[in-house]
Structure 1
Amino acid sequence: MEKLYKLSGFAKLKKLSKTLKRTVVLEGWTNRTGRQALREITEAYRSMLQEMLDYAVENGASQSTLHRVFYHRFREQYPWLPTRVIKSCYRDAVRRAKSFRELKRKGLARTDKPVVRNVTITYSDLQDWRLENGVIKVRTHRGWVEIHYRGHKQLHRYLYNGWKLSSELRLKISGGGVIVYLTFTKDFEVVYDSRNVVAVDVNENNVTLALFKDESLHEVYRIDTGLGRIVIAYAERRRRITKGRSTKIRSVKKVLKKLRERERKQDVIYKTSKIIEEIAEKNNAVVVVGNVHKGKRRLVNNVKKNTLRHRIHKGLGSLAL
């Protein structure tokens, strides 16, 4: 822990400006005309994205290149499609192409060419959508589509507590409904004493905190997370549920959906993060955390036992604080 502190350094910074970004997920619904309009946009988007993605992978194309090659043709092919939807497809194709090349380089790609399965449409300008009177309105070739949603406490908290609604709206068709992603941003200025540090060491079942004040070790905390034990318990429950059967069987899939491993781990992570935040805020300290993903990869590569590899992957992988 002392070594981690010495490597962190002590720059004489007193203020840190940071923009936080949060995404709110809403489950919405619209009428038959609205669903049909969104499905038509989704299918057109999927077709464009697949063609752009293939080109980007083969030629290493940038967004500007994709615009030059595809924009006019797609405007003629889909004259009813909002222009900004076509432009958002460039970013999506470049991002997916980069991800596919990295997977292929690591030998993890399952196909020779990238395949578009899930599509999320992006509206990048408030001219094409708006949030008003508890309804999200989206401009389509069939007119403005109204997407209704249920009351959402998190949405209300961000709307009325100084957070700024981003101009980007993302949505996708899910069964008979619509999943909507709203993004909020907020600028913060944090004042801290650069001589005070909270060093965080993440382990399988606990997180150790070392508080340094005035460049000297002041106090050590240990938080028992039990994530490793949670992973083991749920792995055993999944083993008993499947009993050697495929997880694609309907009855097995139905029971597995009722497991709440992710929710339990998220709850532990949020509570641990809150404790670290309170200690840092109380002492005007900066937080130093090791690279959890890098450490996880190193441990996984050195472990031959499958059960232990699973615990490391699911346990430490969840604690990317």
Structure 2
Amino acid sequence: MLRRSIAVELEVTKELNKLLHSVETAYLNIVREVVEYAVKNNVLNATQLHKLFYHKYRDEYPGLHTHLVVQAIRQASEIAKSFVERRRKGLAQKPYPEVRSVSIRFVVTAWSYEEFVKSIAPVRLSLSLLVGRRFEVWLRPHKRFWRYWWRVLTGEARLASTLIIKRKANRWYAVFVFEIKPREEEPKSIISYDINENTVTVNRIDLPSTVDKVADWNRQYMVPELYTIKTDFGRLARRYERIRNVIIEKLKPEFALPSSNYVNVTNTREFRKRVKHLRERVRKVGRVRQIANELTKAPAIIITEELGDNPQESMIEGAVKTS
């Protein structure tokens, strides 16, 4: 099932803004402390962390709603697991993860969206922030939100039970998660494809969709439609490789050793700070989505090959052997 997250800005008053800031601060403190303990003592199970810290933080933050304490501990468990996994793979250099910001999660019993069906615009949320109190806040819905909400009303999608409240640039946003039900349609064609360095070759055979085609079956319906989609993945990879090499050469003098060698620049913070602004991943993902959209415009049976876990390495090895 596909999921789509839609962020909608909240219209908060000054009093509610202060309250959200205080709740976020308490939530962040809980996450940071639990994460540090979990990584240090290798206690990653959310249930064990709940038993260790729940009563402590209920006493420390008596006004904070119970579900927020529970969600903060669970979120800390997820962060700790992710950090330990990255450290095991050699992708994390720090002893502890640095938690700079958090997203406040609300379970289904801690927020209300019944107003959605009754209201036209704008809509209103009801949030449980403090013990025994609910706070109402207005939304600023936009076109994308209404498009997915219409799918909920028509039964094509379902709203997830968890709501996320997040602050960005001193503005508060409610993040709704929509679970989109896949459409079931009769396939109209069979598609196979071959991925090359800079192109994707597509072979499409249209299936008979009417009784007349079945009755008048002949060879013309078996003639495949063969075409290629230009991706330029190879050129894109080489281009960004040249850009990264230029960055490495510029940073090398700053990391020179007395033995006239250099520190591995790619492991430095300065290199990562510059590389993160490159749009290589975004462009590659965008092109992949364009190809997927092209192949799935009409319902079809798609035939794929077994590429394995790391197809790039196998393709490189095959190219080396043939050369």
Instruction: Give the TM-score normalised by structure 2.
Output: 0.67
Q: Read off the aligned partner of 2:63 and give its amino acid letter.
A: W
Q: Distance in 2 between matches of 1:204 and 1:68?
A: 52
Larger relative contact order, structure 1 or 2 (CA cutoff 8 Å, min sep 6): 1
Shift of 1:97: 1.8
State how far apart, in whole Å, the 1-side matches of 2:74 and 2:42 are.
Answer: 15
Match of 1:148 in 2: 139
Which range moved further: 118-127 or 218-227? 218-227
Task: Confirm whether residue 175 of structure 1 aligns to residue 194 of structure 2.
Answer: no
Matches of 1:42 and 1:298 in 2, distance apart?
A: 47
- Structure 2: stretches of 5+ with no match in the other structure: 117-121, 208-221, 255-268, 319-323
* Contact kept? 2:10, 2:139, Cα under 8 Å: yes
Does the C-alpha gap of structure 1 residues 96 and 83 become closer, same or farther in structure 2, counting only changes over 3 Å? same
The answer to whether the aligner puts 1:274 opposite 2:274 as a matched pair is: no
What is the CA deviation profile of residues 111-140 of structure 1, one whole-angstrom value per residue up to 9, with x for unaligned ones? 012221221111121542436443344332
Partner of 2:94: 111
Aligned length: 273
One-letter identity of the residue aligned with 2:43: G
Is 2:109 the counterpart of 1:120?
no
Secondary structure, aligned partner of 1:188:
coil
Match of 1:294 among 295, 303, 310: 310
Distance 1:65 1:33, change over 3 A: same
The answer (yes or no) to whether the contact 2:203–2:227 under 8 Å persists in 1 is yes
Q: Which string of whole-angstrom CA distances, capped at 9 and with x for unpartnered residues, describes residues 31-60 of structure 1? A: 222221111111111111122223333233
Q: Distance in 2 between matches of 1:301 and 1:121?
A: 46
- Write the distance in 2 (CA, Å) between the matches of 1:201 and 1:91: 43
2:18 to 36, 39, 46: 36
Relative to 1, partners in 2 of residues 1:206 and 1:27: Cα closer, same or farther, differing over 3 Å?
Answer: farther
Q: Shift of the alpha carbon at 1:204?
A: 4.3
1:49/1:89 contact within 8 Å kept: yes
Q: As a proportion of its length, which structure holds more strand?
A: 1
Name 1:205's counterpart in structure 2: 198
Q: Please give the alpha-carbon distance, in whole angstroms, between the structure 1 residues aligned to 2:109 and 2:100.
A: 27
Q: Establish whether residue 26 from structure 1 lines up as the match of residue 35 from structure 2.
A: no
User: What amino acid is aligned across from residue 21 of structure 1 in structure 2?
Assistant: R
Distance 1:65 1:260, change over 3 A: closer
- In structure 1, the residue matched to 2:34 is 52
Matched residue, 1:157: 147
Q: 2:75 corresponds to which letter in structure 1?
A: D
Partners of 2:305 and 2:68 in 1: how far apart?
39
Question: CA offset at residue 285 of structure 1?
Answer: 0.8
- Where in structure 1 are there 5+ consecutive unaligned residues? 1-18, 303-321
- Please give the residue correspondences for 1:85-104 in structure 2 after superposition, counting only pairs within 5 Å: 85-104=68-87
Quick check: 2:106–2:163 contact (8 Å CA) kept in 1? yes
Query: What is the Cα-based RMSD across aligned positions, in Å?
Result: 4.1
Q: 1:217 to 1:79 in 2, by over 3 A?
A: farther
User: Given the superposition, is the C-alpha separation of residues 134 and 202 from structure 1 closer, same or farther in structure 2, using an over 3 Å criterion?
Assistant: farther
The residue type paired with residue 154 of structure 1 is: R
Note closer, same or farther for the CA distance 1:204–1:83 as it changes in structure 2 (3 Å cut). Answer: farther
How far apart are the structure 2 equivalents of 1:81 and 1:262?
Answer: 40
Q: Which one has the largest radius of gyration? A: 2
Deviation at 1:109, TM superposition (A): 0.8
Instruction: Tell me, in whole angstroms, the C-alpha distance in 2 between the residues paired with 1:301 and 1:120.
Output: 43
Letter in 2 for 1:226: D
For the Cα contact (< 8 Å) 1:30–1:145, is it kept in 2? no
Match of 1:308 in 2: none
Paired residue secondary structure (2:310): helix
Counterpart contact for 1:29–1:176, Cα < 8 Å: no
